[in-house]
Structure 1
Amino acid sequence: MTTVVVALAIGTGGTAATATAATPGTTAATAAPSGATAAEEVDYETWQRDVRAIIDEQARPYVEERTANPSGEKQAIVLDIDNTSLETDFGFSYPQPAVEPVLKLAQYAHDRGVAIFFVTARPGIISLPTEYNLEKVGYSVAGLYVRHLPDLFQDVAEYKTAKRAEIEKNGYTIIANIGNSPTDISGGHAEKSFKLPDYDGQLS
């Protein structure tokens, strides 16, 4: 089956959509704000609006549909952390604040029996403070995958793909995978992937 990557341009100038071929078995939805190409040009409100557009208009309806009738599946959602689950570039405190639209989606899914996993490029040395941060701001953590020493020499996209495959081998159906970098969503092993804005890689 051929799937598509849907790109939405969001801004006062209206909305445009384009489609390109994607990895079979995965649909990736992504938003790019019009006129914002670098992090220094994007304020907090713009970033939040762009994130909310993807979560509320695309990810949330899909998760609602998939969780309405799980049919005995062990459902899971996989989240990236930096500027996906936590406000890394716009938050300068610890614990770092949650990205509110993503937190609300994760809580909605968890209340319906969906396991929430986190796959991050963060090093293993900060695993415990990361897990504490996630739980402190309201996330339920079914599993946290961080990069230990051998993983640091592996391509990030390959590492994250392998961890999603590992979650699937444990009997879970990954209904949604959400991240803000292409390395978060490439490689499949999710029914649908949703890419949050990173403004051409300017947000980590």
Structure 2
Amino acid sequence: MTRRPWARPVSLTAASLASLAALAAPAQAAGRTQPTAGSATAAAAVDHATWQKDCRQVMDQALPYLKQRIAAARPGEKQAVVLDIDNTALETDFGFSYPQPANTPVLDVARYAQDHGVSLFFVTARPGILYWPTEYNLEHDGYHVAGLHVRGLVDLFKDVAAYKTAQRAGIENDGYTIIANIGNSPTDLSGGHAEKTFKLPDYDGQLS
């Protein structure tokens, strides 16, 4: 499911916010390692400052690569970066709020890419019911959403890694070269259809 050509701000009631809170964080859980006993939350695994430092280290590797790859774009090449959402593009497991704040190290790299003509596509395991709140959240935080892929009813029963791989293949079929794929889980990055992958920390599956 891709982004509509127009964005529609959403007005969320308390009930819908509660639904979003309940659905957003667990949405990536399928296909991931479950937290071990005594470590049910990300906060128990790592503090926010450490997570941000660890994310920054990965993005400090991504940015020089992107600068070089963007500068080497072939004539007519449509470059794209694919990003996961939960605890990749957005901070999800460090206290819920809406709109959720961007993961700053990732946003900084994404802004460089979009400012240099690269299209940003978001591939998430979130269900389709969260399409509009998610798109609004991303745009609110400063991401230019070229496409948002969420799981439809059929996709909910598919392996997450296979679903995400298929979405990237579809982006390529639309004529884009995916120069980077950024996520925090192996299910975000496996299956190919990207020139280079960058894995953010998930602390052995304790971060959704």
TM-score bracket for this pair, using the shorter chain length: 0.7 to 0.9
Q: Aligned residue for 1:64?
A: 67
1:104, distance to aligned residue in structure 2 (A): 0.9
Amino acid at match of 2:157: F
Normalized per residue, the structure richer in helix is: 2
Q: Aligned residue for 1:116?
A: 120
Amino acid at match of 2:69: R
Structure 1 CA distance for aligned equivalents of residues 97 and 130 of structure 2: 16
Higher relative contact order (CA 8 A, sep 6+): 2
Aligned residues: 166
CA deviations on 1:65-115 (whole Å, 9 max, x unpaired) are 101121221000000000000000014210000000111111100111000
Conserved? CA contact 1:98–1:137, under 8 Å: yes
**Which aligned pairs between 1:155-194 and structure 2 lie closer than 5 A?**
155-194=159-198
Amino acid at match of 2:198: F
Conserved? CA contact 1:122–1:146, under 8 Å: yes
Conserved? CA contact 1:91–1:97, under 8 Å: no
> Which TM-score applies when normalising by structure 1?
0.80
**Which aligned pairs between 1:74-113 and structure 2 lie closer than 5 A?**
74-113=78-117
Which range moved further: 162-171 or 85-94? 85-94
- Segments of 5+ residues of structure 1 without an aligned counterpart are 1-37
> Which TM-score applies when normalising by structure 2?
0.78
The CA RMSD measured in Å over matched residues stands at: 0.8
Q: Report sequence identity in percent.
A: 72
Which runs of structure 1 show a deviation greater than 4 angstroms over 4 or more consecutive aligned residues? none
Q: State the secondary structure of the residue aligned to 1:199.
A: coil
Q: State the secondary structure of the residue aligned to 1:76.
A: strand
